[in-house]
Structure 1
Amino acid sequence: MGRRSDHSRTELEALFLAAGEAHMAEAGFARFSAREVAKRVGYSVGTLYNVFGSYDRFVLAINTRTLLGWTQALEDRLSGAGPDRIGALVNGYFDFAEANPNRWMALYDHRMPPGEEVTERFNQAFGGLIGIIEREVAAVLGSPVDAVTHALTGSLVAIVHGHCTFALNGTYRSFGGDPRAAALARIRAALTVTHY
């Protein structure tokens, strides 16, 4: 078992987060274990909690990294999207979820305990992700990014998220068809109605 003095706090954080991300990707949130992560790194779970404060803060830190990775994946997709940027966003949403199903679902499965707030870093990461979508929605509508665009973006994300979740858990099979294509069609229709 490693000793606390073997690594600095910053190094420990990086080690735990890398191992935590890998374990979340393998096991999913329901079977995620901070003790297992600490074991993989060679430290006690007490050291992990000393670095992050609690199990929930540790999961939140992993989820923050997932959001940042997802944001970068969407930006990368948009950089080569051509004129169909909404199609690129919807496909990028599905692609990230399909490539990282356990990490993606952990974003929605984890809840902070009552009375505990998410970190500012998590809020910024989530805001960065939504900001990309909001920016593209506003561009299609020829509108500023404002309260109306923000509310519409939330509804559009919910449409894509629902289709994506049903695709990943197999529920969409009972409806038939392609959930990705269906989500994109709903988004295009909503933006057309809103635009005109």
Structure 2
Amino acid sequence: MGRRSDHSRAELEELILSTGSTLIAEAGLAGFSAREVARRIGYSIGTIHNVFGTADRLIAAINTRSFADWAVSLGERLDAVGPDGDRIAALVDGYFGFARAHPHLWTAIFDHRLPADGGLTEADETGRATLTRIVVEEIARAVGCDVDDDIAALSRSLIATVHGHCAFAISGAWALMGEAAPEAAALARVREALSARALCISAL
């Protein structure tokens, strides 16, 4: 029986999110169910739906939390190297580091799809944008220019490059192809792109 009077709505939301995040971390997206979350917190499945609407909405909120945790981790790595350190290497290391430390949570971010009739909430979009903003600002800093649409587009491409290397590393595909250092390979591709961009800017 559910403990309906034990928590406020805000407390319930936090309890459901933290428990759902733990479940995905343990079992992956394939092993996730809102019913199991309800069982673990001692509430009915109806409570999950009352707070989040659907299981898909709950997963989206969990993924937004993962994005936030990832952004914090990335920020800590940048702080550790300081303003004069190798911040691009810290970015790539932070990307791989979060994926390796939390493979199921990381994979769930990219594997989950909301139904066509339900997009992300404003809070989800805002929460997820933090990570991208960190990367865009660091890319602009690395090539010595202001953030603009071109830098944002370059940053998205570089994220995709690093993501591909990271996904292959997590899945084991790189090892099958004989690549022993996927993170170093990803960093090399990023440095090449940034060097080319810097040369273009200097030629203007």
Which TM-score bucket, shorter chain as reference? over 0.9
The residue that corresponds to 2:52 in the other structure is 52
Q: Distance in 2 between the 1:131 and 1:99 partners?
A: 22
Structure 1 position 186, deviation (Å):
0.4
Q: Distance in 1 between the 2:37 and 2:19 partners?
A: 6
Residue identity in the other structure for 1:107? I
The residue that corresponds to 1:31 in the other structure is 31
- Of 136, 148, 151, which aligns to 1:149? 151
Structure 1 position 81, deviation (Å):
1.2
Structure 1 position 125, deviation (Å):
1.6
Q: How many residues align?
A: 196
Q: What is the RMSD of the two structures over their aligned residues, measured on CA atoms?
A: 0.9
Structure 1 position 47, deviation (Å):
0.7
Residue identity in the other structure for 2:26? E
The residue that corresponds to 1:100 in the other structure is 102
Q: Distance in 2 between the 1:30 and 1:13 partners?
A: 22
The residue that corresponds to 2:189 in the other structure is 186
Residue identity in the other structure for 2:67? L
Residue identity in the other structure for 2:192? A
The residue that corresponds to 1:121 in the other structure is 123
SS at match of 2:2: coil
The residue that corresponds to 1:43 in the other structure is 43
Q: TM-score, normalised by structure 1?
A: 0.97
Q: TM-score, normalised by structure 2?
A: 0.94
Q: Distance in 1 between the 2:141 and 2:7 partners?
A: 47
Residue identity in the other structure for 1:178? A
Q: Which runs of 5+ in 2 are unaligned?
A: 200-204
Residue identity in the other structure for 1:33? S
Give the ranges of 4+ consecutive aligned residues of structure 1 lying more than 4 Å apart after TM superposition: none
Identify which range, 93-102 or 7-16, moves more after superposition: 7-16
The percent identity for this pair of structures is 52
Structure 1 position 3, deviation (Å):
2.9
Residue identity in the other structure for 1:25? A
Equivalence map 1:154-193=2 (5 Å): 154-176=156-178, 177-193=180-196
